Amino acid sequence: MREKVASSYVIEPERRIPVICEADVCVVGGSATGVFAAVRAARLGAKVVIIECQNSFGGVATNGLVSVWHSFYDLSGKKQIIAGLSEEVLSRLPETDRSQGPDLSNFFNPNELKIELDALLKEAGVRIYLHTLYAGIACEGGRITTVFVENKDGRGAIKAGFFIDATGDGDLCRDLGIESYLNPNVQPPSAVFMMQGTRDEARKREYGLRPNDDIVPAMIRRYGKEFGLEPDWGWDNFIPGLNNIHFRADTHVFGLNCAHADELTEAEIIGREKMRKVIRMMRKYGNPDEVYALVNVCSYIGIRDSYHFRTKQRADHMDMLMGKRYGDVILNGTYDIDVHQADTGIQFMRLNGECITEGADGSRTVTNWRRDMGLSCDGEMPTYYSLPFGVLVQEKYENLIAAGRMINATQEAFGALRVMVNLNQIGEAAGVAAYIAVNESKAVQNIDGVKVAQLLSKGGSANIC
Ligand SMILES: Cc1cc2nc3c(=O)[nH]c(=O)nc-3n(C[C@H](O)[C@H](O)[C@H](O)COP(=O)(O)OP(=O)(O)OC[C@H]3O[C@@H](n4cnc5c(N)ncnc54)[C@H](O)[C@@H]3O)c2cc1C
């Protein structure tokens, strides 16, 4: 169990906890990763329950205000490599509330997505608990029997045959003592906000920017010091259907591990202070004809990275960059290896060999990782990467899968896998595997990964077979 070092301790009195739900599969955490796990298992016939501590589903995509899922296509833009629930749920949104960028990224209104995820779960017959916090776990031998939750009704127990940890930080894995590690460079969190006031063409020219460039990072470099803002490599994006309102991610918070209560609290407060500083800077130095305002604040800070948990196989960036293929494939993707670092800025490594480093000082350098590694730069390059089922299989408990950013991956592989179109697919794979485990009374370690891939494919996932 999670042990916090304290100066004194009390013994909690023993008490009887009511069993509030019994299910085949219990999903803890309701970002799209968790929701898609639940829906996949339920559609196959499992009795599923999902618990989420916020008031709505979607995680960083909705409550974190990062309303963009990357392209469903390979790098040629012609072959669809991702489909499944990511495609289904976006296609259900009203057309005004979704759109595609030139690179085929998918933008959507996060509030609309929340409502669609509710509908998806209800249609699949999933038992839903919102405002419900996972609070503990019980096992018998190598088998988990129960999770404990806290909500308005007090403490309750949920019993299930299989558990999916979709909490992002891997709260269940941590309590179960599964071996964990932090990456050498833990990617910093950012508190995202929606800002009114984006039109500033005259000033963009003054800064030497192009019409589609984002002016705010350049302004932070010039004026940020006056407001207590250090240079950042923030970015923004439009929200379909909203006029003159963008979501902004200018507020990296460095040096804190948000898997711990005190550091999470501090990060939330620093993140919100930074949002206000950005708005104040824009009001003083932005376009005088604009009314800059904080329209919406994320309901929780977007966490990019915390603990990772050991599984049978570790996702390896070189396998991904070389386009290795698998019979038990559960994921296809193209998103670059994208590592945010406190000192040097962002580094992107692309399948085609490009390696781009963007500094907080506005600098941009382009090299070629293939050439630097002595690999050929001619001939056909892979147009997408894949991941095998083994990456999800932990070896300590027979009825648990962790699905989400706690994935077992090298730092670089994680830089690519952490985006939502990838984690959404991992959620779907976890749901399918949970169904197989329950249906065939198998330990997760004995599930046939090829069968997972086949069922994923039958359920609408593209090219996963
Ligand atoms: C600022 C920022 C920008 C990003 N940009 C992009 C981008 O442009 N495109 C992209 O695809 N990805 C982007 N990412 C990455 C991506 O958003 C995250 O890696 C991804 O959302 C993580 O998904 P997850 O399901 O693992 O975790 P989360 O989305 O964090 O979901 C975890 C869920 O579990 C719930 N939960 C946690 N603990 C408990 C508990 N104890 N009890 C009950 N519920 C619990 C949480 O409330 C949440 O709903 C960005 C991330 C950040 C922070």
* Domain end position, chosen among 297, 313, 348: 297
Centroid of ligand 1 to alpha carbon of 134 (angstroms): 16
Nearest-CA residue for atom 39 of ligand 1: 167
Centroid of ligand 1 to alpha carbon of 60 (angstroms): 4
Q: Mark whether 271 and 204 lie in a shared domain.
A: yes
Atom in ligand 1 nearest the alpha carbon of residue 420: 11
Atom in ligand 1 nearest the alpha carbon of residue 249: 1
Centroid of ligand 1 to alpha carbon of 329 (angstroms): 23
Q: Mark whether 41 and 170 lie in a shared domain.
A: yes
Centroid of ligand 1 to alpha carbon of 168 (angstroms): 6
Q: Mark whether 98 and 245 lie in a shared domain.
A: no
Q: Kind of pairing, strands 19-28 and 48-51?
A: parallel
Atom in ligand 1 nearest the alpha carbon of residue 57: 49
In a domain, 326, yes or no: no
In a domain, 322, yes or no: no
- Phi then psi for residue 183, to 5 deg, are -65, 155
CATH of the domain at 146: 3.50.50.60
In a domain, 307, yes or no: no
For residue 238, what are its two tokens?
Answer: 């439009």
Q: Mark whether 177 and 31 lie in a shared domain.
A: yes
* Domain end position, chosen among 382, 410, 441: 382
Q: Mark whether 42 and 112 lie in a shared domain.
A: yes
Q: Kind of pairing, strands 354-358 and 293-297?
A: unpaired
Name the domain count of the chain: 3
pLDDT at residue 3, as a whole number: 62
Nearest-CA residue for atom 14 of ligand 1: 419
Nearest-CA residue for atom 41 of ligand 1: 134
Q: Which of 1, 65, 66 to mutate to test the pocket of ligand 1 (most atoms within 8 A of CB)?
A: 66
∠ at Cα 12 (6, 13), nearest 5°? 160
Q: Mark whether 375 and 393 lie in a shared domain.
A: no
Nearest-CA residue for atom 17 of ligand 1: 60
Centroid of ligand 1 to alpha carbon of 61 (angstroms): 7
Nearest-CA residue for atom 30 of ligand 1: 168
pLDDT at residue 402, as a whole number: 98
In a domain, 306, yes or no: no
Q: Mark whether 391 and 450 lie in a shared domain.
A: yes
Nearest-CA residue for atom 13 of ligand 1: 419
Nearest-CA residue for atom 21 of ligand 1: 60
Q: Mark whether 265 and 373 lie in a shared domain.
A: no
The full length of the chain comes to: 465
Which of 342, 244, 343, 250 is closest to 302 using CA atoms? Answer: 250
* Domain end position, chosen among 281, 297, 313: 297
Centroid of ligand 1 to alpha carbon of 302 (angstroms): 6
In a domain, 205, yes or no: yes
343 lies in which domain range?
335-382
Nearest-CA residue for atom 5 of ligand 1: 66
Cα separation, 62 vs 130, in Å, equals 15
Q: Mark whether 408 and 446 lie in a shared domain.
A: yes
In a domain, 318, yes or no: no
Strands (E), 251-358: 293-297, 308-309, 329-333, 337-341, 345-349, 354-358
In a domain, 200, yes or no: yes
Centroid of ligand 1 to alpha carbon of 18 (angstroms): 30
Q: Mark whether 199 and 271 lie in a shared domain.
A: yes
Place of tokens 């179109």: 421
Write the CA distances from 453 to 38, 44, 103, 366, 465, integer angstroms: 17, 14, 27, 37, 5
Centroid of ligand 1 to alpha carbon of 378 (angstroms): 37
Atom in ligand 1 nearest the alpha carbon of residue 302: 53
Atom in ligand 1 nearest the alpha carbon of residue 418: 19
Q: Which of 28, 31, 194 to mutate to test the pocket of ligand 1 (most atoms within 8 A of CB)?
A: 31
Q: Render each residue's pLDDT in the chain as its tens digit; 465 residues.
A: 456 678 899 999 999 999 999 999 999 999 999 999 999 999 999 999 999 999 999 999 999 999 999 999 999 999 999 999 999 999 999 999 999 998 999 999 999 999 999 999 999 999 999 999 999 999 999 999 999 999 999 999 999 999 999 999 999 999 999 999 999 888 899 999 999 998 787 788 888 888 778 889 989 999 999 999 988 878 899 999 999 999 999 888 988 999 999 999 999 999 999 999 999 999 999 999 999 999 999 999 999 999 999 999 999 999 999 999 999 999 999 999 887 765 667 888 999 999 998 887 778 899 999 999 999 888 889 999 999 999 999 999 999 999 999 999 999 999 999 999 999 999 999 999 999 999 999 999 999 999 999 999 998 888 775
Q: Mark whether 180 and 38 lie in a shared domain.
A: yes
Centroid of ligand 1 to alpha carbon of 210 (angstroms): 31
Cα dihedral value 246, 247, 248, 252, nearest 10: 180
pLDDT at residue 213, as a whole number: 82
Q: Which residues line ligand 1 (CB under 6 A)?
A: 28-31, 33, 51-54, 59-60, 66, 68-70, 133-134, 166-168, 171, 189-190, 192, 249, 302-304, 404-405, 418-421, 423
Cα separation, 353 vs 127, in Å, equals 46
Q: Mark whether 73 and 156 lie in a shared domain.
A: yes
Cα separation, 405 vs 415, in Å, equals 10
In a domain, 327, yes or no: no
pLDDT at residue 465, as a whole number: 53
